[in-house]
Amino acid sequence: MKKQAFNPYLPSWEYIPDGEPYVFDGRVYVFGSHDRFNGYVYCLNDYVCWSAPVDDLGNWRYEGVIYRKTDDPMNPDGHMCLYAPDVTKGPDGRYYLYYVLDKLPIVSVAVCDTPAGKYQFYGYVHDIHGRRLGEREGDEPQFDPGVLTEGDRTYLYTGFCPKGDKSRKGPMVTVLGPDMLTIIEEPVHIAPSEPYSKGSGFEGHEFFEASSIRKRGDTYYFIYSSVVFHELCYATSKHPTKGFQYRGVIVSNSDLHIDTYKPAEKPMFYGGNNHGSIVEINKQWYIFYHRHTNGTNFSRQGCAEPIYFKEDGTIPQVEMTSCGLNGGPLIGKGEYPAYLACNLFCKEESVYTDWTCSWMNNQFPKITQDGKDGDEEVGFIANMKDSATAGFKYFDCKGITRVKIKVRGYCKGYFEVKTSWNGEVLGTIPVDFANIWTEFSAPIAIPDGIHALYFTYRGSGSASLASFKLE
């Protein structure tokens, strides 16, 4: 029996940002970097892989560690982190993993016979003289590789361009030969960085990082994170190394720009950097991206949403939801964990997670977990003070007459239940101080139909929310 698919699509104790999804032999594989729960910087863990059948996107399988940070000859003591990788199938049928270590300007490559086996170090991208890309005179530092192989040519997209940095001119594409390492066409810039964007059409959404490349029909889609930080944008061209034009935003992990259910510039989640790509699975396209948890930038989780293409090839921006890969709304009955919240906010608005002093951050609600990194503890929402709201989208509701919640913490008040963030309160569930997860309930009728569900805490103290149950 198929499982329902949720966001995040992996277990709540797994932290895989920067997701690059691919379909190989009837399964979808996601390659990404690997954050640590309660981590203090990005990407502290080794690369792992998860996969799912293309016709059962709620049933993810852990493939194990595919590459360790110490596998790179320049990192034997593991003092450098493995930043966002990408994978491509080479002309020899093997799978090639491209990555950059956090303190180096060069691109490393590992290889494996299967998509999710144990990758072995293979070499560094270099020119015909053996000089490594990123270290030569005039090279810009390499970062966030995205790769696409066509025939015996592999297109390598890289770049990192902070706002105001005139030393970085934009994302680059370098063409590699059939050995997957040797440069056969030198890097060229395909989009502008912020200081060089005037008149380009990229103004306001200039390239920052997170290069990714896909091809749909005869069109190349270059997906990237812009200087706005929380959004994934895209540009298109009929050629892989030139002619890219800015086309729009695909997703924001603060849900900014969306005006279908709230004001366009109202943040509905605590966002941060973003990285991901698009993929076609069973004739449906999706955008994979990541969200931020634990009140920091350093414990990110993968999410995905269905997208569609207009006749002109453009992609309308999509909302963050709790049911991204499910193929439709979730069943409006039963118990759901609170970590599935796709909206999380309070009366003090913030577009971004507080990453400057996050260890002191007690102002905002946050998705977190008990235990330490690697413990299979189901996530929950902590620090729900007065006005804190958790939103879940969407549910196919039928005959709901009672709502139950599991709460703990020093709190005394009630939770409002609504079907829109600013809508009518359909009922309230009183809650009180509880040392352990305690169930509270109230008779609340949810109208039949497809709805979002919002839970807003009103009262004193701070509540933690583990789950809700629809009956």
Residues classed as catalytic: 18, 209
Close Cβ partners of 461 (under 8 Å, ≥ 6 residues apart):
385, 409, 410, 411, 412, 413, 433
Tokens of 89: 């199938």
Q: 419 φ, ψ to 5°?
A: -110, 5
Close Cβ partners of 418 (under 8 Å, ≥ 6 residues apart):
424, 425, 426, 453, 454, 456
Tokens of 133: 């890309």
Q: 376 φ, ψ to 5°?
A: -85, 65
- Distance between CA atoms of 240 and 152, rounded to whole angstroms? 14
19 φψ region: left (φ > 0), alpha (ψ -120 to 50), beta (else): beta
Given a contact cutoff of 8 angstroms between Cβ atoms, the answer to whether 298 and 42 are in contact is yes
Which element (helix H / strand E) includes 402? Answer: strand 400-409
Residue 386 one-letter amino acid: D
Query: Which residues sit opposite 204 in a β-bridge?
Result: none
